[in-house]
Structure 1
Amino acid sequence: MQALHQISTPHHTITVYETSELYGERGRFRVLQFSNEAVQGAMDLDEPDRIVFEYPRALIHLMEMNRPSFEDVFVIGHGIGTLARHYADKRVRVAELDEAVVEVSRSWFGYAQDNVTVGDGRVLLQGERDHSFDYIVVDAFTHLGTPRQLVSREFFELTRRKLDPRGAVLLNLMAKHEQDPHIRAVHTTLREVYPYTKSFLLPSEGMTELQNIILMGGNAPLVYQGRQMAGFREIELAAGYVLRDDWAQQ
């Protein structure tokens, strides 16, 4: 591993490095990592347009399968800009809390679009017109995981107002195990707001490794093709508690 760049901000310690092996795959990879050693994005230097990780490939399939002609997307969490780069021909608006993440994506990963706004994703989404998006994608992490304000009932109610009636919200999450109580709570909260939901897991090789979970909620039945889910499989999550904004619980 060769470290190329590191910067500390109030939100993260951001590291960029290159490696010849990434999760068992050999090649030349440039990686964005945050302070908790969680990889936030990776580029194949020999094939820069290739989407390296499974979860954005699964998100892309779900988006294209459920609404092939979609045009408007709001993304919370930028990383290296994988989704926005892939959908350069669509209207994608990105919210990123940390300005340094945007600068790193441009300087080290060649992100060239002018569609990222620095600020709190929930606040920025609040300022958008109602019923204006086909999809809202939440892909935001801190050292504690996905911020509570992006998985609460009040947040999901906000997403439903901002989505077109046929739109859907997608969340990329990390779990300690398949029935992680927090993930069950997020899913239960999502079901409080959306009549249709689906949950997908990317199995990990080791029992102690964090597992990647995708949740999707919409107003219409949700469909997918298993062979196109990049290794994710649908799971049933047990009921959990409902997450509310901190102020709503006081």
Structure 2
Amino acid sequence: MQLLFKEISDNHEITVYDTNELYGEKGNFRVLQFLNEAIQGAMDLDHPERVMFEYPRAIIHLMDFNDSSFKDVFLIGHGIGTIASYFSDKRFKVAELDKKVVELSKQYFGYSKDNVLIGDGRHIMENEEPDTYDFIILDAFTEKGTPSQLISKEFFQLTSDKLHSYGSVIMNLIGRSDNDNLINAIHSTLQESYNYTKTFSLPVEGVHDIQNVIIIGSHQPIHYEARYMAGFNEINLNEGHIIWDKI
């Protein structure tokens, strides 16, 4: 491993490094990582256009398959800018809490767009006009997981107000696919604001293993082709409690 950058910013301990092996694959990779080995993005330096991880590939498919002519996206959580870079011909507005993450994405990962606003994603979204976006993507994490203000009933109603009538909200979450109380609660809360929802997870060896979980909500039926979901399978969740903003 070759360390390129390490610093404690206002919000994270951030590391950028090059490595010849990532998740068992040999190659030439560059990684952006937070505390506790939480990888936020990775680039194949030999093939920079490659989307490395399964969850952005699955999200990209859900976007393309449900609305191939979409134009406007609001994205909370920048990372190295994988999804916004992939859809270079679309209009993205990105909210990122940590300005250092944005600086590093440009310096080390070649992110070239000037479309990232620094600040709390929910607060930034509140100032957007209603009926504006085709997709709202949530891919924001702290060391404690997805911020609570981004999974409440009030937040999901806000996303519904900012989306077109045919728009969708898509979330990348971390949890268990089998009876995870928080994942169940997020899904049940989302159903309060959207007519249609689907949940997907990657296969795991044990039911208690933690992995990426993708949840999508829409007012239109949701479609996908399993072979393009990068290994994600649709799952059914148990009913959970409704999450409200903390007063």
**Could you say which TM-score interval applies, normalised by the shorter chain?**
over 0.9
Matching of residue 239 in structure 1 with residue 239 in structure 2: yes
TM-score by length of 2: 0.97
Indicate if the aligned counterparts of 1:136 and 1:169 stay in contact, CA closer than 8 A: yes
Q: How far did 1:31 drift?
A: 0.4
The residue identity in structure 1 corresponding to 2:41 is G
TM-score by length of 1: 0.96
Q: Counterparts of 2:106 and 2:65 in 1: how far apart (Å)?
A: 30
The residue identity in structure 2 corresponding to 1:69 is S
Q: Unaligned 5+ residue runs, structure 2?
A: none
Q: Counterparts of 1:111 and 1:204 in 2: how far apart (Å)?
A: 32
Indicate if the aligned counterparts of 1:178 and 1:211 stay in contact, CA closer than 8 A: no
Q: Counterparts of 1:89 and 1:113 in 2: how far apart (Å)?
A: 11
Q: How far did 1:24 drift?
A: 1.4
**1:45-66 Cα deviation digits (max 9, x unpaired):** 0000000000000000000111
**1:146-181 Cα deviation digits (max 9, x unpaired):** 001000000000000000000000000000453211
Q: Who is 1:116 aligned against? A: 116
Q: Counterparts of 1:156 and 1:207 in 2: how far apart (Å)?
A: 28
Q: Unaligned 5+ residue runs, structure 1?
A: none
Matching of residue 82 in structure 1 with residue 77 in structure 2: no
Indicate if the aligned counterparts of 1:203 and 1:212 stay in contact, CA closer than 8 A: no
Matches within 5 A, 1:35-54: 35-54=35-54
Q: Counterparts of 2:18 and 2:206 in 1: how far apart (Å)?
A: 24
Matches within 5 A, 1:1-250: 1-205=1-205, 209-247=209-247
**Aligned to 2:36, what secondary structure does the other structure show?**
coil
Mean Cα displacement is larger for which, 30-39 or 175-184? 175-184
**1:55-94 Cα deviation digits (max 9, x unpaired):** 0000000001111110000000000000110111110110
Q: How far did 1:228 drift?
A: 0.5
Q: CA RMSD in A?
A: 1.1
Indicate if the aligned counterparts of 1:201 and 1:233 stay in contact, CA closer than 8 A: yes
Identity value in percent:
55
The residue identity in structure 1 corresponding to 2:192 is E
Q: Counterparts of 2:204 and 2:3 in 1: how far apart (Å)?
A: 26
The residue identity in structure 1 corresponding to 2:84 is A
